[in-house]
Chains A and B, each alone.
Chain A
Amino acid sequence: MSSPLLRIDGLAKRFPEFELKSVSFGLPAGLLMGLIGPNGAGKTTLLKAILGLVKPDAGMITFQGRDLAREGAALRARIAYVSDEPKFMPGVRLRTLKEVHASFFPAWDEARWKSLMADFGLDPQNKSDTLSLGQRTRFALTLALSRDAELLVLDEPTTGLDPAFRRELLARLAATLDDRRAILFSTHITSDLEVRADLVTLLRDGEVVFSHSQDALRDSWGVVKGGLDLLETDGSNGFQGLRTNAHGFEGLTDDVESARRRYEGRALVERASLEDILVLLGRRRPEGKPHAA
């Protein structure tokens, strides 16, 4: 099997309030990976580490087999990034911002940029400080998609975009994928990923909980819904996440077949959606005690 386009091995970064703990996963070419996790899970820190904006304390990030820490400046010519809140120098026309940006990328595709600007409803004569968040994100995407980048790193790119445009954007992103390109896409909107993502990586408390294909997730993760009498005395039942209320509980399991056997006839066991996983994992306390609903 060929090596992944992007590989992260044992990445660690400690801040006073937060820690990224030995994060490892790979992203092969041709695939779109969704990066999900609750607020503060470490998604943005991870993406910034890939871009060299955050200096890791340990671990290695390789792109096309080359160390990004050593060759980041050269390799960033092939990596495009859109931050969760794109900012541009105020008072500058979009055309000027594009010209400045394009001057750093020999493979710049001017025709594609013009086409994207028209499709995204942006006027190159507009000034950057007249744009809304959604328009800034659209403009950042025109820059990212016109560089012939081989890796697109997108931090919450659909935030601030209307649903119709979100759908169109996801289709466009998927269309850019080929055997030398990949997309790493962080989002809170799990429905976006369920439609388009090939792989999903979940971060929680700075750790990778899983990094699998959507098919593998559907085959293994499930939600158990039952009465409170089924919960063990410590209230955890080995669930990855648990939500209780006066009538019963919802427990998240990473072994849906075992759960089916265990709770057969006593509880409802369903396959988990990404949203189920994200919501219920966020409900788990470190000591395994359930939250009261």
Chain B
Amino acid sequence: MLLELLRRDLRLHWGSLVVPILILGMGLGAVVMADEGTRLTGLILETSFLIPMLPVIIHQRESAKGTLGDLLVLPVSRAAVVRLRYAEVLFFTGGLLLLAHAAVWVELSVAARHPIPMSVMSRDQFLGVGVLLIFWFAYPMPLFLGWGMKGLVVGYGSLITLVVTLAMTETDLHRFIDASMARPVAMALVLAGLFTLSYLLSLKFFSRRDF
């Protein structure tokens, strides 16, 4: 059922995904052409900030065009719709990272630079993508699915306020992040836990909405 829903989204919304995907594609080109020291930072930022927008664009478009009700009267549960949004962010993130790897592998092959690494990202960089996805996707998503655009504005608004506040006050954020990155397994488990918590909250809020 998840695959049917994903196929439905791609068929009905591809037109509105063209622009963000083009931006991602151009960004990907810039990432690959950049020198090794900076390209992965660009990739991480692009993945973490633009990818979460795709399921939000799809869901908001359904809502704005009045077709969310049609989706919900199909023989699918509300839990399946929530799972779809979370699956989409993983699908698009995985897809972009795979494309980025493929592009870099091709570039290294063409340049005849050996050996070609299995992963062009470090462990910390993967964790970095995870951390940013939690903040940029998993944090606002329950508010968005529960209260629509108002929820999204509150989610992003409070997130930006938090980041600005942390930046302006003397917090030991960097030391905390470094310490967290030093325990990658624990960090990965915490990220998975937060992602799951976000999913459960989204399910609770979305299930009780009237359409």
Contacts and interface: CB of A to CB of B under 8 A. Distances in A.
Interface of A: 48, 51-55, 72-77, 79, 81, 83, 85-92, 96-97, 99-101, 103-105
Contacts of B4: 103-104
Nearest to A72: B77
B69 A90 contact: no
Contacts of A101: 74
Q: How large is the interface on B (under 10, 10 to 19, 20 to 34, 35 or more residues)?
A: 20 to 34
A87 B15 contact: no
B208 A92 contact: no
Interface string B1-24: 000100110011101000000000
A151 B106 CA distance: 56
A73 B7 CA distance: 19
Given A54-B211, A87-B65, A100-B11, A73 B70 contact: no
Contacts of A79: 73
Contacts of B67: 87-89
Given A54-B210, A88-B70, 5 more contacts: A48-B210, A52-B73, A74-B75, A89-B13, A105-B75
A244 B187 CA distance: 77
Nearest to B66: A87
A76 B62 CA distance: 20
Interface of B: 4, 7-8, 11-13, 15, 61-62, 65-67, 69-70, 72-77, 80, 207-211
B70 to A, nearest CB: 7
Contacts of A54: 210-211
A91 B13 CA distance: 10
B65 A90 contact: yes
- Between A72, A89, A97, the greatest number of chain B beta carbons within 10 A of the residue's beta carbon is seen for A89
A147 B11 CA distance: 21
- Between B15, B80, B207, the greatest number of chain A beta carbons within 10 A of the residue's beta carbon is seen for B15
A48 B211 contact: yes
A166 B158 CA distance: 52
Nearest to B62: A89
A105 to B, nearest CB: 8
A100 B4 CA distance: 8
A87 B70 contact: yes
A76 B65 contact: no
Give 7 nearest A-B pairs by CB, closest first: A77-B75, A87-B66, A73-B77, A76-B75, A53-B211, A89-B12, A54-B210
Nearest to A71: B77
Nearest to A153: B73
B197 to A, nearest CB: 23
A105 B70 CA distance: 14
10 contacts: A54-B210, A73-B76, A76-B73, A76-B75, A87-B67, A88-B67, A89-B67, A96-B11, A96-B12, A104-B75
A99 B12 CA distance: 11
A104 B71 CA distance: 11
A53 B76 contact: no
Contacts of B80: 73
B72 A52 contact: yes
B75 A53 contact: no
Contacts of B13: 89
A100 B62 CA distance: 15
B208 to A, nearest CB: 6
B7 A103 contact: yes
Nearest to B77: A73
Given A88-B67, A89-B12, A100-B12, A55 B208 contact: yes
A159 to B, nearest CB: 16
Contacts of B8: 100, 103
